[in-house]
Amino acid sequence: MNDNTSWDSLVDHVARIETLRGVMGTLGWDEQVMMPPKAQPLRGAQRALLSRLGHEWLIDERIGGWLADLEGSDDPVRRACHRNLGRTYRREQRIPAELVDQLARARSEGFAAWIDAKKHSDFARFAPNLERLLELSRRRAAAIDPDRHPYEVLLEEFDPGTSVASLREMFARLRDGLTPLLMAIADRPQLPELGATFDPDRQQALHREVAAALGYDFDGGRLDHAEHPFTTGLGAGDVRITTHITADDLLSGLGATIHEAGHALYEQGLPHEHAGTTVSYAASYGLHESQSRFWENFIGRSRPFCNWLAGRLEEHFPEAGVDAERLFRASNRVERGLIRVQADEVTYNLHVIVRFELELAMFEGTLAVKDLPEAWNARYAEYLGVRPESDARGVLQDVHWSGAAFGYFPSYTLGNLYASSLGATLERELPDLWTRVEAGDFAPILAFLRDRIHSRGHLDEAPEIIHAAVGDRDHVEDLVSYLWARHGALYGAERG
């Protein structure tokens, strides 16, 4: 077939798959934001139908021919499409339908068992399900590529282009860099919490103002309330964010809005003109997370940002009398806790590293499922200095394993690593960065991210996009230095 006819057919077909993905995303958003509870079974049937349709379109055998025609193309978009679509096509083709069914069943049983086990704080109730999920995931990895490390095959779904070896190396150095900082901070007097209440309706207005100031386009999005905040990119012109506002925790709600706005700015800045080529999508979960965490932490918890925010607060809540110093200190409290989702910037990555090390050990066969709670508790004691008193607040706290989402956790820490190198680069290239932030002028920051990250879509793999954006930087050193500079200084601790 003529190359261009073949390419046009491919783009047509992939655009249909992407449209379907947007439809499913809309249903998912509706489910979490608007849907009445009784609609659950109906929605389940709707989603199952669309999933089946999407799978059929993804294993369409014409794709193999179109991919063959793309072989050796010089065009960057076609080359990227060959890589991205080829990977998805091979994965979908190689996993036997029977295994897909077994996994779907194991996931729903696993979820129910996890809920029950967590409620009774009894890991043994979940252990057989976890064994089964691990075994099926190993088989799934072997079906996709029997010659690679099974964990890397699974990791590829979230962070293609990242190797187990590079994670192992970076995470070990990060762990060894963070523990001394945490120990030094733990010896110092604790910083105060904000300790004030703020009317939720008026908070909403503040959140909208902050998201708009960062550059979030409300004509192509919405801000709604959800139990667990998330962002959903449905395609060009429709990228929605959600947040969770409570009267007594201004900073956590605002942090969530800024975090989701960071994800949304990425989605709004993707190269939508390349729809139908796989290139108009984010390059990886880790890169996505780098965008949310860059805004939430590097910018949103900085002293200059707090100076700006204090002015906005003064306008929305004149009676509260919260100044910038109080905001800054309350935003950067460090606490050695048990729960990942409540963790601060310093301890967060240690929570992720524990999970990564244990997942890897289970896949490599050096840790048996029955020994998991003890291994978990021992690592928490060693890295964080706290020991869970129960399985519910320890090994059972996260839902991910019940859905066989092995290889997902590293994305969170990869995001922090990438974000710190982006921050260091921006500080070097934009000398008046912090004066701009203090003035509420975020446009040059967004322009930098648009140029280096967002507009690249999935042309290259995430590690290549980051490398092109920041050059030869040591992400681990960037993150550890940044945390020392902000939290070490706030607590009066010196890097030894």
By CB under 5 A, what part of segment 362-391 binds Zn ion?
none
CB of 411 to Zn ion, least distance (A): 9
Part in contact with Zn ion (CB under 5 A); list of ranges 148-156, 285-293, 329-337, 454-462: 285-293
As measured in angstroms, the least distance from the Cβ of 242 to Zn ion is 12
Which is closer to Zn ion, CB of 292 or CB of 425? Answer: 292
Stretch that binds Zn ion, among 92-100, 246-254, 269-277, 289-297 (CB under 5 A): 289-297
Pick the closer one to Zn ion by CB: 262 or 271: 262
413 is a contact residue toward Zn ion (CB under 5 A): no
Alpha helix (H) residue ranges in 272-409: 285-293, 303-316, 324-331, 345-363, 372-379
Q: Give the N- to C-terminal CA distance of the chain in Å, as an integer.
A: 66
Q: How far is the CB of 267 from Zn ion (least distance, A)?
A: 12
448 half-sphere exposure, CB direction, 13 A CA radius: 22
Spatial distance between the Cα atoms of 21 and 134, rounded to a whole number of angstroms: 28
- Which lies closer to Zn ion via its Cβ, residue 296 or residue 461? 296
Binding mask 301-330 toward Zn ion (x if CB under 5 A, else -) reads: ------------------------------
SS3 112: helix
Interhelix angle 475-483/164-186, rounded to 10 degrees, is 10
- The residues, ordered by sequence, that sit 6+ positions from 426 with a Cβ below 8 Å of its Cβ are 433, 445, 448
Q: Residue 95 carries which DSSP code?
A: S
Nearer to Zn ion, 307 or 411 (CB): 411
The answer to whether the CB of 93 falls within 8 A of the CB of 112 is no
291 is a site residue for Zn ion (CB under 5 A) = no
Tell me which residue has its CB nearest to Zn ion.
Answer: 292
> Smallest distance from the beta carbon of 102 to Zn ion, in angstroms?
30
Minimum Å gap between C-beta 424 and Zn ion is: 21
**Is beta strand 238-243 parallel, antiparallel or unpaired with respect to 231-235?**
antiparallel
* Distances, alpha carbon 378 to alpha carbons 48, 266, 389, in Å: 41, 38, 12
How far is the C-alpha of 443 from the C-alpha of 265, rounded, in Å?
12
Q: What residue type is 354 in one-letter code?
A: V
Instruction: Judge whether 315 counts as a catalytic residue.
Output: no
User: In the stretch 239-278, what mask flags binding to Zn ion with x, by CB under 5 A?
Assistant: ----------------------------------------
Q: Output the smallest distance, CB 496 to Zn ion, in A.
A: 33
SS3 of residue 234 by DSSP: strand
Q: Is 270 within 8 Å of 449 (Cβ atoms)?
A: no
Stretch in the footprint of Zn ion (CB under 5 A) among 142-150, 275-283, 286-294, 438-446: 286-294
Using the rule CB under 5 A, give the single segment among 127-135, 151-159, 288-296, 390-398 that binds Zn ion. 288-296
Least separation in angstroms between CB 405 and Zn ion: 14
Selected range binding Zn ion among 179-187, 287-295, 382-390, 403-411, rule: CB under 5 A: 287-295
Q: CB of 111: closest distance to Zn ion in angstroms?
A: 21
**CB closer to Zn ion out of 284 and 292:** 292
Q: Does 284 bind Zn ion (CB under 5 A)?
A: no
Nearer to Zn ion among residue 203 and residue 292 (C-beta): 292
Q: Which of 292, 297, 347, 425 binds Zn ion (CB under 5 A)?
A: 292
CA angle 170–173–175, rounded 5-degree value: 105
Which is the catalytic residue, given 152, 260, 267, 359? 260
Using the contact rule CB under 5 A, the part of the chain among 187-195, 290-298, 315-323, 399-407 near Zn ion is: 290-298
Helix 443-452 × helix 250-268 angle, to 10° = 50
Q: How many residues bind Zn ion (CB under 5 A)?
A: 1
Alpha carbon of 374 to those of 176, 234, 369, 380: distances in Å? 22, 42, 10, 10
Question: Which of 84/292 has CB closer to Zn ion?
Answer: 292
CB atoms within 10 A of CB 63: 23
Determine how β-strand 238-243 pairs with β-strand 223-225.
Answer: parallel
Q: Please return the burial class of 213, using the count of CB atoms within 10 Å of its CB with bins 0-12, 13-18 and 19+.
A: middle
Residue 232 is a binding residue for Zn ion (CB under 5 A): no
Comparison of 177 and 415: residue with beta carbon closer to Zn ion: 415
Q: Is there binding between residue 416 and Zn ion (CB under 5 A)?
A: no
Active-site annotation, residues? 260
Binding residues for Zn ion, rule: CB under 5 A, are: 292
